[in-house]
Amino acid sequence: MANEVAMQGKVINDKRPDSEKICFTQEGNRLVYRYDGEELWIEPWGENSLRVRAAKMAKMPLENWALSEKVKECAPEISIYGDGRAEIRNGKLCARFSAMGKLSFYNQDGKLLLDEYVRNRRDIKVDYCSALEVDAREFCPIPGGDYRVFMRFESLDEKEHLFGMGQYQQPYVDLKGIDLELAHRNSQASVPFVLSSLGYGFLWNNPAVGRATFGKNITTWEAFSTKMLDYWVTTGNTPAEIEEAYANVTGKVPMMPDYGMGFWQCKLRYQIQEELLEVARGYKKRGLPISVIVIDFFHWPMQGEWKFDPVYWPEPDAMIAELKQMGIELMVSIWPTVDYRSENFEEMKQRGYLIRTDRGFRISMDYQGNTIHYDATNPNAREYVWEKVKKNYYDKGVRIFWLDEAEPEYSVYDFDNYRYYLGPNVQIGNIYPVMYAKTFFDGMKKEGQENIVNLLRCAWAGSQKYGTLVWSGDIHSDFRTLRNQYAAGLNMGIAGIPWWTTDIGGFHGGWVDDPKFHELLIRWFEYGTFCPVMRLHGDREPHKPQYGTTGGATCLSGADNEVWSYGPEVEKICTKYLFIRERMKPYITGLMKEAHEKGTPVMRHLFYEFPEDEACWTDYEEYMFGPDVLVAPVMYEGMRDREVYLPDLPGGARWANAWSGETYQGGQIVQVRASLDEIPVFIRGGAAVPWA
**Which residues are the active-site residues?**
404, 407, 474
Tell me the DSSP string of 283-343: HHHTT----EEEE-S--SSSTT--S--TTT-S-HHHHHHHHHHTT-EEEEEE--EEETTST
Question: Rounded to the nearest 10 degrees, how much is the dihedral formed by the CA atoms of 243, 248, 250, 252?
Answer: 90
3-class SS of residue 376: coil
Nearest-angstrom CA–CA distance, 488 and 532: 13
Contact 243, 603 (CB under 8 A): no
Nearest-angstrom CA–CA distance, 26 and 233: 20
- Residue 248's nearest CA partner among 65, 465, 567 is 465
Nearest-angstrom CA–CA distance, 691 and 309: 43
- Residue 680's nearest CA partner among 643, 650, 647 is 643
Beta-strand runs (E) in 319-461: 329-334, 337-339, 356-357, 371-373, 400-403, 418-420, 423-424, 454-456
Q: Long-range contacts of range 659-666, CB-CB < 8 Å, 24 or more positions apart?
A: 666/613
Nearest-angstrom CA–CA distance, 458 and 471: 7
Nearest-angstrom CA–CA distance, 682 and 319: 42
Q: Would you call 289 exposed, middle or buried from its count of C-beta atoms within 10 A (0-12, 13-18, 19+)?
A: middle
Instruction: Sort residue 9 into left (φ over 0), alpha (ψ -120 to 50) or beta.
Output: left
Instruction: Sort residue 13 into left (φ over 0), alpha (ψ -120 to 50) or beta.
Output: left
Nearest-angstrom CA–CA distance, 667 and 285: 46
Largest CA distance in the chain: 87
3-class SS of residue 665: strand
Question: Rounded to the nearest 10 degrees, how much is the dihedral formed by the CA atoms of 674, 676, 678, 679?
Answer: 70
